[in-house]
Chains A and B, each alone.
Chain A
Amino acid sequence: MPVVTLRDWIPVALSADLPAATVIPAHTPSGILALWRSANGELATLADRCPHRGMRLSYGFVRGEALSCIYHGWSYGQNGQCRRIPAHPDLTPPAAIKAASYPTEERNGVIWIALGEPKAPPPALEGFKPLRSITLEVDAKLISATGDVRTRLAGVDVLLLIVGISGSETVAHLMVDAAATESDCVTVSRAAEGWRRECEQLGVKELAS
């Protein structure tokens, strides 16, 4: 299985899992980030920590074009700049109140985040369509390295975008052959459960040895 390490862009979620006006936690090897889509469909990624009291912004809510913290309702724009502090409705928040933001791109149904400044866009992954993201309680090194893996599950061509999060957590975004039928997709989704159990057994064996 050819393995290409994804250096610049990290796949963090499938587009279908992030509808307009929602926020989700994006797990990356460098920690959790708050990934959100505005009511108008704009994607943004911010540090998952409100600068006010440290509450995770991925627990927050999206209204219009802003992400708000669930704790005190402080809201942030796509660039991470604080726009509104409900406890002081007449105050223009100082520029210093800002959450770090990260480049975010969506391509072929996959959302990618960069921690640096990538020169090229994320890969298109032509010929595949997104199916589902699953989390494995295993070190990615035991499955492959972090990277994309072409293989077959239940007789269907699949592409696994594998991201090692930590020694005990790996995220896999599962893409299937673009020509796969609904029924193929259900079969692959079930097979993925078995693949996860198999991978986690490798982890158990590793611990035992």
Chain B
Amino acid sequence: MTIGHHAMIDQWYPVALASQLPPEGRTTQLMGTAIRVLPGDPVRVVTGDGRDLRVTLRYGHVWTSLGEPSKDLFDIPEADQPGRRLVEVGVVRVRCSPLRAVENFLDIAHFPFVHTDILGAEPHTEVGKYDVEIREKEDEVWATKVQFYQPQAAKSATGGITTDYMYRVPAPTSTVLYKTCPARPGEWDVITLFVQPLTEELCDVWPWMALFDDETALTDLIHFQQMIFLQDRSILENQIPRLLPLDPGREIPTRADLTSVAYRRWLKRHQFTYGAQLVAQ
């Protein structure tokens, strides 16, 4: 492991659904290190050589770190708001860089082509201007005032609407999406993507949601999100190179990609380079 990866060693990562831990535990890996997630009170995470790692349980998942996180796991205040349904979507393995998985989640321009007739549809392909910033105090990437036309924005949506979004990246492989809540105007639905980096080119993705929706069956909510992510998976596994290029020039962004540009810049600034390609080849 190179020096540049130290910054990411000290981050928190999801490694299991707390509710789904089998009695024998979950054997997995984190950034190339074999680990086991063991059920119990407290839940433990141990490395192959017997080291106990720090553990925190939050947002339905078991989180751990190979290093010494300097701060607690990021906060999602909406998670504690009364009336929300917390939805555990499960795990999907993707042969891609964990950073590519996050970047794809921050992108709206692909909706008409990858999530056709659900999150987007031609001819409504235009991405309007939106605001992007790196918030210095929180040290997070934020995109706000994002709007896009969606034929079926959520499981509970019955027709097309212009949907508002905000995107937030509080950690290098975790991202939170706030979007128009069809059931409760004025509130935001929260949809997250928590990514467990197994290696630089392989990840387990754990989507999770906190929604205002009393109508839709829980299973339908889970399946809607699984469907959306599985549509992305075939894209993510066929991007070249597998690693996310951080140097400009290898890929060409446009105005629609400003969130991605800010995310890449933020990763580079913090030396969050596990899963990144630094020198164009």
Interface residue ranges, A against B (CB under 8 Å): 48-49, 51-56, 59, 69-73, 85-89, 91, 96-97
Residue of A51, A70, A87, A96 near B251 (CB, 8 A) is A51
Q: Does B133 lie at the interface of the complex (its beta carbon under 8 Å from any beta carbon of A)?
A: no
27 contacts between A and B (CB under 8 A): A49-B240, A52-B251, A53-B239, A53-B251, A54-B241, A54-B250, A54-B251, A56-B239, A56-B240, A59-B234, A69-B113, A70-B113, A70-B235, A71-B113, A71-B114, A71-B235, A72-B109, A72-B110, A73-B113, A86-B122, A86-B125, A87-B109, A87-B255, A88-B126, A88-B127, A89-B123, A96-B252
Q: How many residue pairs between the two chains, A and B, have CB atoms under 8 Å in the bound complex?
A: 65
Across-interface contacts of B251 in A (CB, < 8 A): 51-54
A22 vs chain B, min Cβ distance (A): 17
Query: For residues 141 through 173 of chain B, which have their beta carbon under 8 Å from a beta carbon of chain A?
Result: none
Q: Across the interface, do A71 and B126 meet the contact criterion of CB distance under 8 Å? A: no
C-alpha gap A34/B241 in the complex (Å): 16
A48 vs B239: C-alpha distance when bound (angstroms)? 10
Judging by beta carbons under 8 Å apart, are A72 and B240 in contact? no
Contacts A52-B253, A86-B113, A89-B123 aside, 12 further interface pairs with beta carbons under 8 A come to A51-B251, A54-B251, A55-B238, A55-B239, A55-B240, A59-B234, A73-B122, A87-B109, A87-B125, A87-B126, A87-B254, A88-B255
For B125, what are the chain A residues with a Cβ–Cβ distance below 8 Å? Answer: 73, 86-87, 89
Contact B240 A87 (CB under 8 A): no
Once the chains bind, are B112 and A86 in contact (CB under 8 Å)? yes
Report how far A73 CA is from B108 CA in the complex, Å.
Answer: 12
Known: A55-B235, A56-B240, A70-B235. Is A88-B256 also a contact (CB below 8 A)? yes
Contact A52 B252 (CB under 8 A): yes
- Contact check, A97 vs B113: say whether CB atoms are below 8 A apart: no
Residue of B nearest to A31 (CB): B240
Tell me the complex Cα distance, A54–B240, Å: 5
Which of A52, A72, A73: most chain B CB closer than 10 A? Answer: A72
